Chain A
Amino acid sequence: AQSVTQLGSHVSVSEGALVLLRCNYSSSVPPYLFWYVQYPNQGLQLLLKYTSAATLVKGINGFEAEFKKSETSFHLTKPSAHMSDAAEYFCAVSDRGGNTPLVFGKGTRLSVIA
Protein backbone atom coordinates (compact mmCIF):
# COMPACT_ATOMS: atom_id res chain seq x y z
CA ALA A 1 0.00 0.00 0.00
CA GLN A 2 1.14 3.50 -0.70
CA SER A 3 1.40 6.37 1.74
CA VAL A 4 2.53 9.97 1.90
CA THR A 5 4.21 11.92 4.66
CA GLN A 6 4.30 15.69 4.61
CA LEU A 7 6.86 17.11 6.99
CA GLY A 8 5.60 20.19 8.78
CA SER A 9 1.92 20.92 9.21
CA HIS A 10 2.64 24.64 9.04
CA VAL A 11 5.37 26.50 7.14
CA SER A 12 5.84 30.24 7.32
CA VAL A 13 8.01 32.21 4.87
CA SER A 14 8.61 35.87 4.11
CA GLU A 15 7.36 37.34 0.87
CA GLY A 16 10.06 36.85 -1.76
CA ALA A 17 11.69 33.96 0.08
CA LEU A 18 12.07 30.40 -1.15
CA VAL A 19 9.15 28.07 -0.55
CA LEU A 20 9.98 24.44 0.24
CA LEU A 21 7.23 22.00 1.17
CA ARG A 22 8.37 18.46 1.84
CA CYS A 23 6.72 15.25 0.74
CA ASN A 24 8.00 11.70 1.09
CA TYR A 25 6.13 8.74 -0.29
CA SER A 26 6.04 5.03 0.16
CA SER A 27 5.02 2.82 -2.72
CA SER A 28 5.82 -0.74 -3.71
CA VAL A 29 5.62 0.11 -7.41
CA PRO A 30 6.58 3.21 -9.40
CA PRO A 31 4.30 5.97 -8.19
CA TYR A 32 2.34 8.75 -9.73
CA LEU A 33 2.71 11.84 -7.53
CA PHE A 34 0.68 15.00 -7.24
CA TRP A 35 0.53 18.29 -5.44
CA TYR A 36 -2.83 19.91 -4.82
CA VAL A 37 -3.52 23.33 -3.35
CA GLN A 38 -6.54 24.49 -1.42
CA TYR A 39 -7.13 28.21 -1.10
CA PRO A 40 -9.48 29.38 1.66
CA ASN A 41 -13.08 28.41 1.02
CA GLN A 42 -12.22 26.68 -2.24
CA GLY A 43 -11.82 23.10 -3.44
CA LEU A 44 -8.59 21.22 -4.10
CA GLN A 45 -6.82 22.35 -7.26
CA LEU A 46 -4.11 20.39 -9.07
CA LEU A 47 -0.75 22.22 -8.97
CA LEU A 48 1.37 19.65 -10.77
CA LYS A 49 1.83 15.94 -11.32
CA TYR A 50 4.58 13.41 -11.94
CA THR A 51 3.63 10.48 -14.15
CA SER A 52 7.03 8.94 -15.03
CA ALA A 53 8.17 11.43 -17.64
CA ALA A 54 10.59 14.22 -16.65
CA THR A 55 11.63 14.08 -13.00
CA LEU A 56 11.46 17.88 -12.66
CA VAL A 57 7.86 18.88 -13.03
CA LYS A 58 6.66 22.42 -13.50
CA GLY A 59 3.21 23.44 -12.39
CA ILE A 60 1.01 26.48 -12.18
CA ASN A 61 1.83 29.71 -10.36
CA GLY A 62 5.60 29.19 -10.57
CA PHE A 63 5.71 26.00 -8.50
CA GLU A 64 7.81 22.99 -9.38
CA ALA A 65 8.64 19.65 -7.84
CA GLU A 66 11.38 17.11 -8.36
CA PHE A 67 10.88 13.37 -8.18
CA LYS A 68 13.85 11.73 -6.45
CA LYS A 69 13.50 7.99 -6.41
CA SER A 70 16.58 7.44 -4.25
CA GLU A 71 15.12 9.67 -1.57
CA THR A 72 11.47 8.70 -2.17
CA SER A 73 10.72 12.39 -2.18
CA PHE A 74 8.65 14.83 -4.20
CA HIS A 75 9.27 18.20 -2.58
CA LEU A 76 7.45 21.29 -3.82
CA THR A 77 9.39 24.50 -4.36
CA LYS A 78 8.91 28.06 -5.54
CA PRO A 79 11.82 30.50 -5.78
CA SER A 80 9.94 33.55 -4.50
CA ALA A 81 6.81 33.45 -2.36
CA HIS A 82 3.88 35.76 -3.00
CA MET A 83 1.18 36.68 -0.53
CA SER A 84 -1.31 34.91 -2.80
CA ASP A 85 0.50 31.59 -2.23
CA ALA A 86 -0.90 31.34 1.29
CA ALA A 87 -2.96 28.16 1.24
CA GLU A 88 -3.04 24.50 2.26
CA TYR A 89 -0.89 22.19 0.12
CA PHE A 90 -1.48 18.46 -0.21
CA CYS A 91 0.85 15.84 -1.62
CA ALA A 92 -0.81 12.72 -3.03
CA VAL A 93 0.30 9.39 -4.48
CA SER A 94 -1.19 6.71 -6.67
CA ASP A 95 0.64 3.56 -7.58
CA ARG A 96 -1.39 2.00 -10.33
CA GLY A 97 -2.44 4.75 -12.65
CA GLY A 98 -5.83 4.72 -14.27
CA ASN A 99 -8.70 5.73 -12.07
CA THR A 100 -7.35 4.51 -8.79
CA PRO A 101 -7.88 6.45 -5.60
CA LEU A 102 -5.28 8.99 -4.61
CA VAL A 103 -3.75 8.74 -1.15
CA PHE A 104 -3.20 12.15 0.38
CA GLY A 105 -0.85 13.50 2.97
CA LYS A 106 -2.08 15.51 5.95
CA GLY A 107 -1.37 18.79 4.25
CA THR A 108 0.93 21.71 4.96
CA ARG A 109 -0.42 25.16 5.61
CA LEU A 110 1.76 27.83 4.01
CA SER A 111 1.73 31.32 5.50
CA VAL A 112 3.45 34.20 3.71
CA ILE A 113 4.56 37.15 5.80
CA ALA A 114 4.84 40.62 4.30
Chain B
Amino acid sequence: EPEVTQTPSHQVTQMGQEVILRCVPISNHLYFYWYRQILGQKVEFLVSFYNNEISEKSEIFDDQFSVERPDGSNFTLKIRSTKLEDSAMYFCASSAMGTPSPLELFFGEGSRLTVL
Protein backbone atom coordinates (compact mmCIF):
# COMPACT_ATOMS: atom_id res chain seq x y z
CA GLU B 1 0.00 0.00 0.00
CA PRO B 2 1.40 3.43 -0.91
CA GLU B 3 2.54 5.48 2.06
CA VAL B 4 4.11 8.77 3.00
CA THR B 5 7.61 8.36 4.35
CA GLN B 6 9.51 10.83 6.50
CA THR B 7 13.14 11.13 7.50
CA PRO B 8 14.69 11.39 9.97
CA SER B 9 12.41 9.80 12.54
CA HIS B 10 14.17 11.74 15.28
CA GLN B 11 16.63 14.62 15.13
CA VAL B 12 18.37 16.40 17.96
CA THR B 13 19.90 19.79 17.19
CA GLN B 14 21.36 22.78 18.93
CA MET B 15 19.44 26.04 19.10
CA GLY B 16 20.27 28.25 16.13
CA GLN B 17 21.12 25.38 13.80
CA GLU B 18 19.37 24.73 10.50
CA VAL B 19 17.26 21.62 10.17
CA ILE B 20 15.79 19.97 7.09
CA LEU B 21 13.00 17.45 7.46
CA ARG B 22 12.32 15.28 4.46
CA CYS B 23 9.17 13.68 3.17
CA VAL B 24 8.35 11.46 0.22
CA PRO B 25 4.63 11.85 -0.52
CA ILE B 26 2.55 9.22 -2.28
CA SER B 27 3.66 9.26 -5.88
CA ASN B 28 0.45 10.37 -7.66
CA HIS B 29 -0.52 12.96 -5.05
CA LEU B 30 -0.42 16.65 -5.89
CA TYR B 31 -1.12 18.42 -2.59
CA PHE B 32 1.41 18.41 0.21
CA TYR B 33 1.24 19.57 3.80
CA TRP B 34 3.27 19.99 6.95
CA TYR B 35 1.69 19.82 10.40
CA ARG B 36 3.34 19.81 13.78
CA GLN B 37 2.43 18.68 17.28
CA ILE B 38 4.16 20.09 20.31
CA LEU B 39 4.09 17.55 23.11
CA GLY B 40 0.70 17.59 24.83
CA GLN B 41 -0.81 20.09 22.41
CA LYS B 42 -2.93 20.06 19.28
CA VAL B 43 -1.81 18.97 15.85
CA GLU B 44 -1.31 22.34 14.11
CA PHE B 45 -1.31 23.19 10.43
CA LEU B 46 1.86 24.80 9.12
CA VAL B 47 1.68 24.96 5.34
CA SER B 48 0.14 23.49 2.21
CA PHE B 49 1.86 23.26 -1.15
CA TYR B 50 0.48 22.74 -4.64
CA ASN B 51 1.87 23.23 -8.12
CA ASN B 52 5.29 24.17 -6.77
CA GLU B 53 4.10 26.97 -4.56
CA ILE B 54 2.66 27.55 -1.12
CA SER B 55 -1.13 27.59 -1.30
CA GLU B 56 -1.78 28.37 2.34
CA LYS B 57 0.22 28.89 5.50
CA SER B 58 -0.49 29.49 9.15
CA GLU B 59 0.83 32.17 11.48
CA ILE B 60 3.32 29.64 12.80
CA PHE B 61 4.97 29.41 9.40
CA ASP B 62 7.12 32.52 9.66
CA ASP B 63 10.29 33.51 7.81
CA GLN B 64 12.28 30.87 9.67
CA PHE B 65 10.38 28.17 7.80
CA SER B 66 10.50 27.24 4.15
CA VAL B 67 9.30 24.36 2.02
CA GLU B 68 10.59 23.00 -1.21
CA ARG B 69 9.94 20.24 -3.67
CA PRO B 70 13.47 19.92 -5.08
CA ASP B 71 12.68 17.01 -7.36
CA GLY B 72 9.72 14.90 -8.38
CA SER B 73 9.58 12.90 -5.19
CA ASN B 74 10.80 14.81 -2.13
CA PHE B 75 9.05 17.52 -0.14
CA THR B 76 11.17 19.25 2.48
CA LEU B 77 10.61 21.52 5.45
CA LYS B 78 13.55 23.72 6.42
CA ILE B 79 13.89 25.58 9.68
CA ARG B 80 16.68 28.11 9.27
CA SER B 81 17.59 28.88 12.86
CA THR B 82 15.92 26.55 15.31
CA LYS B 83 14.50 27.74 18.62
CA LEU B 84 13.66 25.74 21.70
CA GLU B 85 9.95 26.12 20.95
CA ASP B 86 10.40 24.40 17.58
CA SER B 87 10.74 21.10 19.43
CA ALA B 88 7.79 19.06 18.21
CA MET B 89 6.67 16.14 16.09
CA TYR B 90 6.41 17.24 12.48
CA PHE B 91 4.00 15.40 10.21
CA CYS B 92 4.04 15.45 6.45
CA ALA B 93 0.83 14.66 4.57
CA SER B 94 -0.29 14.41 0.96
CA SER B 95 -3.58 14.17 -0.88
CA ALA B 96 -4.63 13.39 -4.41
CA MET B 97 -6.67 15.59 -6.70
CA GLY B 98 -9.80 14.16 -8.22
CA THR B 99 -10.48 11.55 -5.58
CA PRO B 100 -13.97 11.28 -4.09
CA SER B 101 -12.69 13.33 -1.19
CA PRO B 102 -9.64 15.50 -1.82
CA LEU B 103 -9.68 16.19 1.89
CA GLU B 104 -8.42 12.72 2.68
CA LEU B 105 -4.90 13.34 3.85
CA PHE B 106 -2.35 10.57 4.10
CA PHE B 107 0.13 11.19 6.87
CA GLY B 108 3.67 10.03 7.45
CA GLU B 109 4.89 8.66 10.76
CA GLY B 110 6.36 11.97 11.78
CA SER B 111 9.79 13.39 12.48
CA ARG B 112 10.50 14.23 16.09
CA LEU B 113 12.66 17.35 16.42
CA THR B 114 14.36 18.12 19.71
CA VAL B 115 16.08 21.49 20.04
CA LEU B 116 18.57 21.83 22.89
**Do A46 and B104 contact each other (CB < 8 Å), given the known contacts A99-B55, A101-B33, A101-B56?**
yes
User: Number of contact residues on B: which range applies?
Assistant: 20 to 34
For chain A residues 61-102, which have a beta carbon within 8 Å of chain B? 90, 92, 94, 97-102
Minimal Cβ-Cβ distance residue in B for A39 = B109
Contact of B105 among A42, A46, A98, A106 (CB under 8 A): A46
- Check if A41 sits within 8 Å of B42, measured CB to CB: no
B75 within 8 A of A: no
- Check if A51 sits within 8 Å of B109, measured CB to CB: no
Contacts of A90 in B (CB 8 A): 43
Contact of A101 among B3, B58, B102, B108 (CB under 8 A): B58
Contact of A51 among B3, B44, B103 (CB under 8 A): B103
For chain A residues 98-113, which have a beta carbon within 8 Å of chain B? 98-107
Contacts of B48 in A (CB 8 A): 99, 101
Contacts of B104 in A (CB 8 A): 46, 49
- Which residues of chain A have a CB within 8 Å of any CB of chain B? 32, 34, 36, 41-46, 49, 51, 90, 92, 94, 97-107
13 contacts between A and B (CB under 8 A): A34-B103, A43-B6, A43-B109, A44-B43, A44-B105, A99-B95, A101-B33, A101-B45, A101-B58, A102-B103, A102-B105, A104-B35, A104-B43
A61 to chain B, nearest CB (A): 16
- Check if B55 sits within 8 Å of A44, measured CB to CB: no
- Check if A99 sits within 8 Å of B102, measured CB to CB: yes
B46 to chain A, nearest CB (A): 9
Contacts of B102 in A (CB 8 A): 98-99
- Check if A106 sits within 8 Å of B41, measured CB to CB: yes
A18 to chain B, nearest CB (A): 26
Contacts of B55 in A (CB 8 A): 99
Minimal Cβ-Cβ distance residue in B for A41 = B109
In the complex the two chains form, what is the Cα distance from A90 to B89 in whole Å?
15
- Check if B103 sits within 8 Å of A43, measured CB to CB: no
Contact of B109 among A42, A106, A107 (CB under 8 A): A42
A6 to chain B, nearest CB (A): 9
In the complex the two chains form, what is the Cα distance from A104 to B93 in whole Å?
14
